[in-house]
Structure 1
Amino acid sequence: MRDQESRNFVGEDDDGENRTGTVMTATSHIITAVIGSGVLSLAWAMAQLGWVAGPAVLVAFSFITYYMATLLIDCNRSPGPQSGKRNPTYMHVVRAHLGGAKVQLCGLAQYASIVGTAIGYTITASISMVAVERATCFHKEGHDHTKCKINNYPYMIGFGIVQLVLSQIPNFHKLSWLSIVAAIMSFAYSTIGLGLSLARIISSGKHQPKSTLTGVEVGVDVTGADKVWQTFQAIGNIAFSYAFSLVLVEIQNTIKSPPPPENKVMKKASLYGVSVTTLFYALCGLLGYAAFGNKAPGNFLTGFGFYEPYWLVAFANICIAVHLIGAYQVYCQPLFGFIENYSSNRWSESKFISQEYNIGGGFNINMFRLVWRTVFVVLATLIAMIIPFFNDVLGLLGATVFYPLTVYFPIEMHIAQRKIPKFSAKWMWLKILSFSCLVVSLVAAAGSIQGIAKNVTKVKPFHAT
């Protein structure tokens, strides 16, 4: 699918591919993938966990995410007879190191997660676009929520239409510009959120919102059962905010090498990306919690704890929408590529699948790509319209992505690659870490599923909220 005419033979890598990725572009891809809608829920997550557990959970996830990323990065090249061969996707890496049924399990986890992320981003982007209109409405009409009810379904459809167009970009290598724009947007709205939180803290003076070491209080803010479920859900929200392992291999595959080896470049990019995002997460989560206390909204830029300056709130939400437009593509391109490569190999004689038509301007169109990607975006948009629950969906996505893709497979491949003896000290440590993360994922998923079940009975499809 790569444009052969534009291939630069002088810059070819050791496998004949022409890659141009650097630490900067890989870091921007990672920041785009990591700093997404997850940052918006961190103030709420901190409110559920409190001043002690909240920061501790955030730091723990950052260390685990980076450590697991380094394991996955080192597994990119194949062992054995094909030693040194690059693997273009997560599934190829698992096939090279583990093989068997684990390849199908990896594919199921990865691509189900991508579908879920597309749904989650559609929900979040529409909420942010609605928030732009509501910010203006509140400025004109006052802070009466009954006067500013706006239907977010048209915005979901609009977001879907934009993705229909962008999804026709043939492959991941052509997305660097979109990823850099998206990364800039993520910095912009995160910085605005920080500034608004700090301004609210300063303006409150001695009358700061109530916050506690253990978060929302049973009998005051929530019931005992709600405290448990929302704590689990908050853990899932934090897990989601670090979910980028499912596209890490694809990002690594854009990096040119050698020298230096692409795994060293990717480790630097991962360190920079995770460090920057953790700093932003800590500031957004903690300052957001300080600004709102135990009453922190589920989305601190669309829950309208901030009303003024309305234009700045509106601009921040525009940045969120633009960022998610790019992040959607960063996540979905691997799935698009997998389906299309599989289909072209399976039905290589079909012109519907393989034929490229030049429509001018150096742009080609493929009928199978057009139809399949359109169906995907339409279905993701429809599902988002049916279950538009921000925190619940993010928590469930975080729980389902975190364990299999961020923890289980990197650990299993590292054990296989290094031939770590069973029941050795390192083997035991890795297995204990894996089991602990599995437990965390299960309780986070349980909390999110309970939240979805609770909220689904309250939904009135296609009505303003």
Structure 2
Amino acid sequence: MHSSSLPINDGKYDDDGRLKRTGTWVTGSAHIVTAVIGSGVLSLAWAIAQLGWIAGSIVLILFSLITLLTSFLLADCYRYPDPVHGTRNHTYMGMVKNILGGTQYMFCGLAQYTNLIGCTIGYTLTASISMVAIKKSNCFHKYGHEANCKTSNYPFMAIFGVSEILLSQIPDFHELSWLSFVAAVMSFGYASIGIGLSIAKIAGHHVETGLTGLVVGVDETSSQKYWNTFQAIGDIAFAYAFSTVIVEIQDTLQSRPPENQAMKKSVFTGITVTTFFYALCGLLGYEAFGNKAPGNFLTGFGFYEPFWLVDIGNIFIVIHLVGAYQVFAQPVFSLVESWGSKRWPESKLMTKEYYVKIPLVGIWRMNMFRLIWRTLYVIFTTLFAMIFPFFNSIVGLLGAMSFFPLTVYFPTEMYLVQSKVTKYSPMWIGMKSLSGFCLIVTLVAGVGSIEGIISELKTYKPFAL
């Protein structure tokens, strides 16, 4: 074991005795793009339609800047107490525990893991919606746009679940960087298809758009306008929420150059790329569909033709979500597994690894507890997605719940402690004001989403085909 305060460059180990990390700012950027450009991108045209050109653009830019700032603050807290030579924090929860103490650590764990589990459920839902859209798109192409092409989501959720059970058996996050690259390429793919189809639609005809979005009295009632505006703000906030995995991503980076410098480069690259895509998808999507923008523009049949291109877009979404599910599930897996092996260190079920040779794949490290627990977790998320299939409202609620604590509150509080910022100094007042503003946004978006879920529950029949 090496134990010095400075990174050691020899051998296979890092400064804290763990295996040397190999990540660079490029792999970090890929992980970030994978985590950020998720299914949220597809509801942005709908969100901009609720808010209109002016407010929609402001909210998009505002959330990208807030996320950029708080991610920089988090990057500096990776080593504590000194950003370059301090002790490494391997997880978000570990960071909160070291810097802010036990009570805040419990809150952080609750917020982070609720969000991670919620995302895996959301991804199961979205992937099945995209698979159904492929089937419907082929059906509409064959039988006309008026045909009854109703298809159940349940078999597709089961298919997605089975693929995740297999992928979940990859033991370690480090072994998944190839999956992140594939997923990042896919997200560019479907966002570009959405953008291209929007441009084609804009060229074809003009639809009604407005500086303030949907018109009260024409498109919706005034109470609907309020609720939908709130929910749209939640959707945009959620579209940037990747703080749950940011520390885990930083923990894959090499120790030279210092992790916080490489991570800031990754964050800047990741968020710039994402905001560019979001602006294109949201604003061009709104220009294409106007006030009738669907909640998800590749599956809501804003486009019927060319059907094969819509299909490719949806295939890309499915492949991307297969990867994104793992990025969000791996921290949940490792939390339970490390707890289990500490609790029962003697147990063979917990600790014994078997090496199984798989043709064309290589050697697979199998552990019985890992096999059982990860399989049960995927089954749980799949069943939950089947029972509660209200996509947009749930996305808004998750975004609202996790956005304030994880993206704003903890990063600003930890930074104030790490940098020993004086109470009531301009920096301190600025950070606290940012926190207060984001808390209000979170509450407003949460209320809008709960209203959406309540109204959908009124007409909801579980497992109805």
Q: Do the structures match in fold with TM over 0.5? A: yes
SS, match of residue 400 in structure 2: helix
Instruction: Give the residue type in structure 1 aligned to 2:91.
Output: T
Q: Percent identity?
A: 59
- Assess if the C-alpha contact under 8 Å between 2:80 and 2:418 holds in 1: no
Taking structure 1 as the reference length, the TM-score comes to: 0.95
CA distance in 2 between counterparts of 1:421 and 1:100 reads 23
- Assess if the C-alpha contact under 8 Å between 2:130 and 2:299 holds in 1: yes
CA distance in 1 between counterparts of 2:325 and 2:342 reads 26
CA distance in 2 between counterparts of 1:460 and 1:318 reads 28
Instruction: Give the residue type in structure 2 aligned to 1:240.
Output: F
Which residue number corresponds to residue 257 of structure 1?
A: 255
Deviations 1:155-184 (A, max 9, x none): 111111111111111111000000000000
> Residue 461 of structure 1: CA displacement?
2.4
CA distance in 1 between counterparts of 2:454 and 2:380 reads 21
- Assess if the C-alpha contact under 8 Å between 1:182 and 1:326 holds in 2: yes
Supply the RMSD in Å over aligned alpha carbons: 1.4
1:209 maps onto 2:207 in alignment: yes
SS, match of residue 337 in structure 2: helix
1:321 maps onto 2:322 in alignment: no
CA distance in 1 between counterparts of 2:210 and 2:327 reads 38
> Residue 370 of structure 1: CA displacement?
1.2
Which residue number corresponds to residue 390 of structure 1?
A: 391
Which residue number corresponds to residue 139 of structure 1?
A: 141
Deviations 1:219-248 (A, max 9, x none): 111111111000000011001110100000
Alignment of 1:167-178 (within 5 A): 167-178=168-179
> Residue 83 of structure 1: CA displacement?
6.2
Which residue number corresponds to residue 334 of structure 1?
A: 331
1:350 maps onto 2:352 in alignment: no
Deviations 1:90-128 (A, max 9, x none): 011111111120111111110010010011111111000
Deviations 1:238-269 (A, max 9, x none): 011101000000000001112x1111001000
> Residue 395 of structure 1: CA displacement?
0.5
Alignment of 1:435-446 (within 5 A): 435-446=436-447
Deviations 1:287-333 (A, max 9, x none): 00000000000001000010000000000000000000000101111
Gaps of 5+ in 1: 1-7
CA distance in 2 between counterparts of 1:177 and 1:261 reads 24
CA distance in 1 between counterparts of 2:458 and 2:142 reads 33
Question: Which of the residues 228, 238, 241 maps onto 1:240?
Answer: 238
Alignment of 1:382-461 (within 5 A): 382-461=383-462
Instruction: Give the residue type in structure 2 aligned to 1:328.
Output: Y
Alignment of 1:85-234 (within 5 A): 85-144=87-146, 147-204=148-205, 208-234=206-232
Deviations 1:324-373 (A, max 9, x none): 00001011111111111111112111111111111123211111111111
CA distance in 2 between counterparts of 1:350 and 1:457 reads 49
CA distance in 2 between counterparts of 1:93 and 1:397 reads 22
Alignment of 1:23-62 (within 5 A): 23-62=25-64
CA distance in 2 between counterparts of 1:317 and 1:356 reads 38
- Assess if the C-alpha contact under 8 Å between 1:79 and 1:96 holds in 2: no
Gaps of 5+ in 2: 1-8
> Residue 11 of structure 1: CA displacement?
5.2
Corresponding residue pairs, total: 451
Stretch moving more, 386-395 or 324-333? 386-395
Which residue number corresponds to residue 283 of structure 1?
A: 280
Taking structure 2 as the reference length, the TM-score comes to: 0.95
CA distance in 1 between counterparts of 2:297 and 2:12 reads 46
SS, match of residue 87 in structure 2: coil
- Assess if the C-alpha contact under 8 Å between 1:47 and 1:293 holds in 2: yes
